[in-house]
Chain A
Amino acid sequence: GNSVTQMEGPVTLSEEAFLTINCTYTATGYPSLFWYVQYPGEGLQLLLKATKADDKGSNKGFEATYRKETTSFHLEKGSVQVSDSAVYFCALETNAGKSTFGDGTTLTVKP
């Protein structure tokens, strides 16, 4: 079956530090890949997506590139802010219409 493995947290960084959260996946076919973010007391919301190999998704300074050869979709940001503190979920979805989510990585950014 499909699976998503993401970097265990929690991750604590200082403001303006570089962020990487690793995500690897196993899937049949050609899934779409997503990063979602969840702020306290809220539901998950889409951060960025990529639909085919070598696509780069980007939003709010975050980026992730769909790497089929390494089955990875690592999330990066060059300079994090306190407001980026949240839980980040990597996910994939295939034509079957059912998403598979990673376990989530909690990020805390300190001023």
Chain B
Amino acid sequence: DAGVIQSPRHEVTEMGQEVTLRCKPISGHNSLFWYRQTMMRGLELLIYFNNNVPIDDSGMPEDRFSAKMPNASFSTLKIQPSEPRDSAVYFCASTPSPKEPQHFGDGTRLSIL
């Protein structure tokens, strides 16, 4: 079975540019999560969706961040404009139902210069 697929794996761009991260969850999984991981702050939940609807976006740092899930098989996380402090590894995860383990993608390593 294909796992959670994230793209790109690496992204290097200059500050002020728009960045779009993509995620394809496991087929049949109803919940999707976006996380950010840094050495300083560890693993942070940014937003999660249930049946394509955003349920909790309280972790989204500021208005520069936005996330969408137009259908059950695709989600994007967008940063516009990007800043150096956004540099991190961004993970997408999905799960079939509450109280079940999450399945993580391999992450996107984002560097903003």
Contact = CB atoms under 8 A, between A and B. Distances in A.
Given A46-B101, A96-B98, A101 B91 contact: no
Interface residues of B, number: 24
A43 B105 contact: yes
Contacts, number: 57
Interface in B76-103: 91, 93, 95, 97-103
B25 interface: no
B91 A43 contact: yes
A28 to B, nearest CB: 13
B113 interface: no
Contacts of B4: 43
Nearest to B3: A43
Contacts of A77: none
What DSSP secondary structure best describes chain A's contact surface? Answer: loop
Contacts of B103: 46
A93 interface: yes
Contacts of B104: 43-45
Range of interface residues on chain A?
Answer: 20 to 34
- 10 closest pairs, A vs B, by CB? A43-B104, A97-B98, A32-B99, A46-B101, A44-B104, A95-B98, A103-B42, A43-B106, A93-B99, A43-B107
Interface of A: 31-32, 34, 36, 41-46, 49, 51, 89, 93-99, 101, 103-104
Given A99-B102, A103-B42, 5 more contacts: A31-B99, A43-B93, A43-B105, A93-B100, A97-B97
30 contacts: A41-B106, A42-B107, A43-B91, A43-B93, A43-B104, A43-B105, A43-B106, A44-B91, A45-B104, A46-B101, A46-B103, A49-B101, A51-B99, A93-B100, A94-B98, A97-B31, A97-B50, A97-B95, A97-B97, A97-B99, A98-B45, A98-B56, A99-B33, A99-B45, A99-B102, A101-B43, A103-B42, A103-B43, A104-B42, A104-B43
